[in-house]
Structure 1
Amino acid sequence: MPTEIGPDHHLSYDDIVKLTKAKQIYLIDVREPQELKEAGELPESVNLPLKDVSKALGELSDSEFQKKYNATKPGLDAPLVFSCRAGGRSLKALQTALELGYTKAKHYKGGFMDWEQHTKSKNS
């Protein structure tokens, strides 16, 4: 039975900024690598495409994860936050992570489009 996703699983731009500054986040971007090259990426995020989430988080050893994604594999109690372009894929990744036992997993509901909107408005 799927884990219930409630309002506390959805983070905003301000939440992401605050958690990143406090180093209380393990940010995973579930877009494809080509999307990141074309559109840009969230600062300090690990690219883990949606199609890889279940296997990477559920089956890979720490060393295999490190080798494939050039990042430390998060523990089950890590403050995971998934992001994508607009929030759809990150919600799927969140559901997968919760089912795998990642108890503190959340997602950035606005995704990269929201990030870009906020950062462009601050820089103009």
Structure 2
Amino acid sequence: MNRSVKVAVIEADILGLFAARELQREGHRVVVFEKQRRIGGTFPGHEEELRFLNKFADEFGLRSLTQLNTGVVRVERVNKHWVVESRTQSSASVSQEREVFVAVVICTGHFTELIIVKIPSED
């Protein structure tokens, strides 16, 4: 087991609780902070959430960074880099691309079945 550390997780919504669970499973000391009176955060309705996400993307210039209709079909570690293979679907065609990255952050939603892979440290 790696060195145990004290970790703060802010918000007890689905992502915060998932993060806390995984950190605890790895042997870390976890404290979860939630400002509401109950677990679960504020869970806005779908329309409200969509408005928020669009406003957020526009406000922080994220729309130009986002490739829509593009799914990741494979992530592979090659030497010290990550190769991400994606597939873009348009009304006329499907294209596939491979790009090289230094790091990958996987943020799946709660409707996705996770496959968690242990990645060896490069100490």
TM range (shorter): under 0.3
Structure 2 length-normalised TM: 0.27
Larger Rg: 2
Larger strand fraction of residues: 2
1 or 2 for the larger relative contact order (CA 8 Å, sep ≥6)? 1
Structure 1 length-normalised TM: 0.26
